[in-house]
A and B are shown apart, each in its own frame.
Chain A
């Protein structure tokens, strides 16, 4: 079975509609919401704070701690088991690694910066939405950053290269390949690249190209959202 037309009528290179808002959690030092299609992520940043137990401290820089979580009611009707799972631990770890290259943590030795990412509604692409929200929240927290981080998944549905897969596409009967990537858009450096499935070299090249183009679009949305927070207050 060939995948010729996308379920929701998008072009193969087209992203789902996006929305980003900065400053959604008033208690946090920095926070943001990032929505792509039906996937909604909220990120809140606390810190830099004292880090205990002491052996976790780095003497020369701050530690970044990410926590990724899908809420119990966020799925497509079936209840997600609440709390930490093997999957969420892994995603927390890759999120951390995806954000670190953008951050300069040397100003805060021995401290910790906590990033909490909650997915209140999910329709695939959650780690990417989480990374997009987290990078906005970190910028909003006034931390030194080389660049924002934009993330999107590319992949194959059937044998067709597409970008930004939704849940229905991931569950395609003939199999789908999911390749989440995170990019520092200004320089094009990849900070996350995961692959789940089988793909040829040529197909991988095309999907990565699609995904990188997608990241550029996300970057625009992110930058506009950060500016919007302060331009709104000006009025």
Chain B
């Protein structure tokens, strides 16, 4: 008889025996040894049918096709840009995917994106060797001008966004800032005043700190209201 040795959403650490018997299959972050399923990373237990996945709680960003991310332009070549998206390898953005403009032979690419620019971009392809392609063609994908970027653990981005964007739209509403959260844990914030940006940053950091608390949206709301009152004084 197969059984789970950990409950759903419980914290597991590498080497924990999480299930016994052949009815459960190891998914991401787990492996099989004999008739046992063992966790191979620190995370939360996740069970979907008979597949056990470990939901990561920490670590660097792991890219997936289709992710919208915030990247820093690091370098460029004749026909492409190299962009740091926060994972182990730089991603490449080719000229064709960057713009639909006609670029003359020998034209300077830095007219479009220069080294140090912050861009919102989307991942079109990831290979096992870590090579990544990016595109700027899509809704909302653009160069970010002004504002600041805060980095949080990529695993906590869904909490920063909330259900159907509830968390992020609340922060937008309460602080008057514009926010974009990339899947790679980078949140771009631009506000009307430095104070507003600061407030939004603190709210994001609070989410980072308390990411697996129940009723987080309510907590952040109270925090923002309390801090806004202070600022008004």
Q: Which of chain B's residues have a CB closer than 8 A to the CB of A140? A: 42, 58
Closest residue of chain B to A141, judged by CB? B59
Q: Which of chain A's residues have a CB closer than 8 A to the CB of B89? A: 50, 110-111
For chain A, residues 58 to 109, give those with C-beta under 8 angstroms from any C-beta of chain B. 62, 102, 104, 108-109
- Whether A234 contacts B212 in the complex (CB less than 8 A), given A108-B88, A142-B59, comes out as yes
- A118-136: contact bitstring with B at CB < 8 Å (1 yes, 0 no)? 0000000000000000000
Per the bound structure, the CA–CA distance linking A185 and B17 in Å amounts to 12
Per the bound structure, the CA–CA distance linking A50 and B89 in Å amounts to 6
Stretch in A7-15, A144-152, A201-209 touching the partner:
A144-152
B184 to chain A: closest CB distance in Å?
A: 14
* Of the residues B15, B17, B212, contact of A233 by C-beta under 8 Å: B212
Per the bound structure, the CA–CA distance linking A230 and B161 in Å amounts to 20
Query: Are the C-beta atoms of B59 and A148 separated by less than 8 Å?
Result: no
Q: Which of chain B's residues have a CB closer than 8 A to the CB of A185? A: 15
- B17-45: contact bitstring with A at CB < 8 Å (1 yes, 0 no)? 10000000000010100000010111100
**CB of B60 within 8 Å of the partner chain:** yes
- The total of chain A residues at the interface (CB under 8 A) is 34
**CB of A226 within 8 Å of the partner chain:** yes
Query: Are the C-beta atoms of B42 and A146 separated by less than 8 Å?
Result: no
- B199-229: contact bitstring with A at CB < 8 Å (1 yes, 0 no)? 0000000000111110000000000000000
Closest residue of chain B to A106, judged by CB? B128
**CB of A30 within 8 Å of the partner chain:** yes
Query: Are the C-beta atoms of B40 and A144 separated by less than 8 Å?
Result: yes
Query: Are the C-beta atoms of A111 and B130 separated by less than 8 Å?
Result: yes
* Of the residues B31, B60, B155, contact of A48 by C-beta under 8 Å: B60
**CB of B140 within 8 Å of the partner chain:** no
Query: Are the C-beta atoms of A139 and B41 separated by less than 8 Å?
Result: yes
**CB of A6 within 8 Å of the partner chain:** no
* Of the residues B13, B17, B211, contact of A148 by C-beta under 8 Å: B13
Query: Are the C-beta atoms of B88 and A50 separated by less than 8 Å?
Result: yes
Q: Which of chain A's residues have a CB closer than 8 A to the CB of B128? A: 109
**CB of A49 within 8 Å of the partner chain:** yes
Other A-B contacts than A139-B14, A142-B58, A186-B17, 14 sampled, CB-CB below 8 A, are A29-B58, A48-B87, A50-B89, A108-B88, A110-B89, A142-B41, A142-B155, A146-B14, A146-B40, A147-B14, A184-B15, A185-B15, A223-B16, A227-B13
Residues in B lying within 8 Å of A, measured CB to CB = 11, 13-17, 29, 31, 38, 40-43, 56-60, 87-90, 128-130, 155, 209-213
| Shortest beta-carbon contacts, A-B, top 8 | A142-B59, A147-B15, A48-B88, A145-B14, A142-B58, A111-B88, A226-B13, A230-B11
